[in-house]
Amino acid sequence: MSAGRRLLEGASVATVADELHLSVQTVRRYKSIVADGGLDALAKMGVGGRTSVLDRAALDWIAAALQNPARKHGFPSDAWTNARLRELIERRYGVRFSRVYVWQIATNLGLAHRLSKSRR
């Protein structure tokens, strides 16, 4: 949804891809969907796969974790990265999600801005 909003504001595909850590191909697909049906069409777009094993309490815990420095969860610095969030989720809940799905979790929580571009 953030990508769709940015595209409607006039941001370029490349800019949106860079800002939201998405592939240019994905943003182009979103742009096409938004052009054909607006944000409603983008909201209805499924991401596929099975239902997440994370319940509301788990998502709330993840959101709270992201509000604190990563160091509080045993990482060597304060910065949050996708890899660190993936590791934290795996440690806490015993499941390993893809980089894309972890980004989606952070985005859905409204906290994707907390993840730096660094891989570690």
pLDDT in tens, 37-82: 888 888 777 655 556 688 889 999 999 999 999 999 999 999 999 9
pLDDT at 72 (0 to 100): 97
Look up residue 114 and give its DSSP letter: G
pLDDT at 118 (0 to 100): 56
Contact (CB, 8 A) for 42 and 34: yes
Contact (CB, 8 A) for 107 and 2: yes
pLDDT at 70 (0 to 100): 97
pLDDT in tens, 92-118: 999 998 888 899 899 888 899 899 875
Look up residue 72 and give its DSSP letter: G
Residue 90 binned pLDDT confidence (cut-offs 50, 70, 90):
very high
- Structural domain spans, the chain: 2-44, 56-116
pLDDT at 60 (0 to 100): 95
